[in-house]
Amino acid sequence: MAVSPPRVLTIDDEDMIRETIAAYLENKGYAVLGACNGRVGLERFFAERPDLVLVDLRMPEMDGLEVLARIRDFSPDTPTIVVSGTGVLRDALESIRRGAWDYVTKPIQDMDILGLAVEKALERARLLRENKAYQENLESLVRERTAEVEETRRQIMQRLSRAAEFKDNETGRHVVRVGEISALIGRAVGLSPEECDRLRECAPLHDLGKIGIPDAILLKPGPLTPGEWEVMKRHCLFGCEILGPLGSLRDAHDWCSQPLQPTRCADHNPFLDLARTLALLHHERWDGRGYPFGLVGEDIPLEARIVAVVDVYDALRSTRAYKKAYSEEQSLENLRQGSGTRFDPHLVEVFFMHLDAIRAILDKWKDE
């Protein structure tokens, strides 16, 4: 396939100069366009989109400085070379300020000087294009790899939450509903879209620690003994440890055994940070009678308070091996009774304000 020669637009009001430059450049293999003043030159530039522009400074109707500025604003990657009179240093400086890539003085004693300037400008433009294409390709590859890593992370988190839920709910849809409703409540109380997305993905991991609870206790059809209840409460710590700092299990245990640890740990990741918080603190109560730490009121992170409300409501509405599902009326009454004691009263109020949207989520993700 034949390669088209570079196209050079020469803008000069002196016919002889335009013709001389055209003859020289055409002999070098360039395709040359001409314009007799700045206005016509600019029109040809927009119509033809040449590879390089040669422009005089002093011309009727529109001077070269205006042409340079217009080309720079529209197409800063197009190389421009000023070909103008000698002895005016400030013209050369102003030309560069307006976007000129080079300056060749007239009269041109040696046309090869102009030829070298054209070659250098076109080579620079080629390198800039290649570098830009390389950067765009590199950015595209980074975006693709980032998307792949993000999708892998999402799938791992979803499978972890499903593994925990399979212990006492074969469909695993409880955790999906908790994530969706928690994001809905989060949005209603002013969390950012990014925070709501994290809450949607991390809330399903709140009961991950159930993996460590014996089935004889987790699936027991009757009331738990005090000793069994103490074992059951340990699922909060287990969940945090599973998601906790990498290293020894002792390190994870120590990190999760203290209330209100700094959000970040050595392997900081905003999703893991939130998932640890929810696993550890979703059974804390507004009145301070929750576990594992007995935190009170707003000392409990907002996201954990949200999940506490949503988790209890959906668990009541769900059938388990050891219980039947509660009706909507019974489940809502449970929230009313727990407002201000078990639950953040403002969040309970927000929950009731969005019942229609919550019902839609329950219907979309209902258990099979």
Contact 252, 241 (CB under 8 A): yes
Question: How is the chain split among helix, strand and coil, in percent rounded to 5?
Answer: 60, 10, 30
Closest CA to 114 of 260, 235, 8: 8
Q: Which of 287, 293, 198, 286 is nearest to 237 (CA)?
A: 293
CA 115 to chain centre: 47
What is the rounded CA–CA span in Å between residue 207 and residue 178? 11
Classify residue 162 by burial, with Cβ atoms within 10 Å: 0-12, 13-18, 19+: middle
The answer to whether 240 and 261 have CB atoms below 8 angstroms apart is no
The DSSP 8-state label assigned to residue 3 in this structure reads: P
From residue 297, alpha-carbon distances to 3, 272, 306, 343, 345 in Å are 73, 24, 12, 9, 10
CB contact at 8 A, 41 and 17 = no
Residues involved in catalysis: 210
Instruction: State the pairing for strand pair 31-35/7-11.
Output: parallel
b/e burial code for range 217-231 (CB count within 10 A of at least 16 → b): bbeeeeeeeeebeeb
Contacts of 183 (CB under 8 A, 6+ apart): 196, 197, 199, 200, 203
